[in-house]
Amino acid sequence: MKTLAIYASFELREGPRPDTTVLAPREGVDPALAADRLERIARAHQQLSHPSIPRVESWDGASVVFASDTKADLEACISTAEEWGERVPYAVGIALPTLIADALSHAHAARDVGAQHGVFLGGASLRNVRVRPNGHIHLFGFGHNFVVRDLHGALAVDSGVFGGERAPSATSDLLAFYEMTRSLMSLVDLPPSLARVFQGQRGAELGLLGNLLEWAMRRLIGRAPHDRGVTVEEAMHVYRIAWRLLGVSPDIQAFRALLARTAAPAPAVDDHVVLDGDRVLLPSGRSIDLATRGAARRMLHALAAATSAGRSLSTDELFAAGWPGQRLDAETRSRRVRVELSRLRALGLRHAIKHAEAGFTLRSRGA
């Protein structure tokens, strides 16, 4: 069976029957612990009946079979859109949080013996969102978020993972997916008035919109530790008010069409890049100038050297290469590396920068 995705402790493969996928443990993981996590995943997905959450066809101690024809994840679709230079209209872009919020709201409202307070993901990644050939989405990871966490529940240190130390809850899911969707804003054409608000401008015509967004951020992010927190429904209510003020509404049909185009299988290509001093030559022939991006340039050269020596680099090693001599706390180091890698992937190195359990590598060849 063809492998579709590899995660910290599991991998997703094409299923034994058409339009199915299989989740199975990676070689070398604890089989008893893996079986426990698979059972949690299967029970959670069985419990949730929603068009954006794949249902379980069967499961045992060795694997879970999902009824899902997905072959690509949202990260791959975004990378393709970036390579094409695709600009996403705002009405199309806001379809993503709309669809995710609807699935999360359903999961958070679930109740049974094993889920007295709902079913949560406890983190978010573009790889949690897998795309079907028709452009519809399937959200994976309920029960145990195998996309962003290992068997023991530790959050993966990866540039595309969003989540904190809070216990999984409605608010932690909301914050994680808010950060994930916000990371995609560079692809979206913002309405002029919203762009001015984000730039800190105010005025009579921007006052209501600016005040609404400031209040929403204080309510969502600036809450006290013992506050109840914001539900997905409450957050989406604020979004819808903002969208009415902007005169837009989510264009879900156009969003699905975009995903269907970007998820279509592409012909096999050479994904190696060439490092030439301050420049990076992409397989497409496009050149990226990193003369003013010292940290990114140093990280890439360190990755190339390590990969050629048969090694991978950890997040801390990448930080040491990008910011030599600087001493910062672990969270700040991780965030800096995550931001730089996200920017490099957005520039066209998504397929060249590889991440596995052992660390990061770079597919490159000499100039």
pLDDT per residue as tens digits for the range 45-57: 999 999 999 999 9
Question: How far is the C-alpha of 21 from the C-alpha of 2, rounded, in Å?
Answer: 10
Structure tokens at 210: 């600016």
| Average pLDDT of the chain to the nearest whole number | 85
Is domain 3-66 classified as CATH 1.10.472? Answer: no
pLDDT of 340 > 80? The answer is yes
Question: How far is the C-alpha of 319 from the C-alpha of 327, rounded, in Å?
Answer: 10
Angle subtended by helix axes 170-182 and 232-246, to nearest 10: 40
- Give which of 81, 54, 96, 84 is closest to 255, Cα–Cα: 96
Structure tokens at 83: 């390579």
Q: Is 68 exposed, middle or buried (0-12, 13-18, 19+ CB in 10 A)?
A: buried
DSSP 8-state symbol, 122: S
Structure tokens at 72: 């690509």
Q: What is the pLDDT of residue 84?
A: 74
The CA–CA distances, whole Å, from 6 to 24, 188, 251, 354 equal: 10, 29, 32, 11
Helix (H, G, I), strand (E, B) or coil at 22: strand
Query: Can you say whether the dihedral through the CA atoms of 91, 93, 94, 100 is positive or negative?
Result: positive
Angle at 190 (CA atoms; ends 74, 342), nearest 5 degrees: 40
pLDDT higher at 147 or 224: 147
pLDDT of 155 > 60? The answer is yes
pLDDT of 351 > 80? The answer is no
Span 285-318, pLDDT tens digits: 788 888 888 898 999 999 989 998 999 998 889 9
Angle subtended by helix axes 95-108 and 170-182, to nearest 10: 170
Angle subtended by helix axes 74-84 and 252-263, to nearest 10: 90
- Whether 126 and 9 have beta carbons less than 8 Å apart is answered as no
Q: Where are the domains of the chain?
A: 3-66, 72-260, 273-365
Q: What is the pLDDT of residue 191?
A: 84
Decide which of 3.50.50.60, 3.40.50.300, 1.10.10.10, 3.20.20.70 is the CATH code for 273-365. 1.10.10.10
Question: How far is the C-alpha of 171 from the C-alpha of 313, rounded, in Å?
Answer: 33
First to last CA, the chain: 37
Question: How far is the C-alpha of 158 from the C-alpha of 218, rounded, in Å?
Answer: 27
Confidence of residue 113 (pLDDT cuts 50, 70, 90): very low
Phi-psi region of 310 (alpha: psi -120 to 50; beta: other; left: phi over 0): left
Beta strand 188-189 with 88-89 is parallel
Helix (H, G, I), strand (E, B) or coil at 296: helix
pLDDT of 342 > 80? The answer is no
CATH class of 72-260: mainly alpha
Helix (H, G, I), strand (E, B) or coil at 58: strand
Confidence of residue 202 (pLDDT cuts 50, 70, 90): low
Which of 77-86, 227-236, 309-318, 343-352 has maximum average pLDDT?
Answer: 309-318
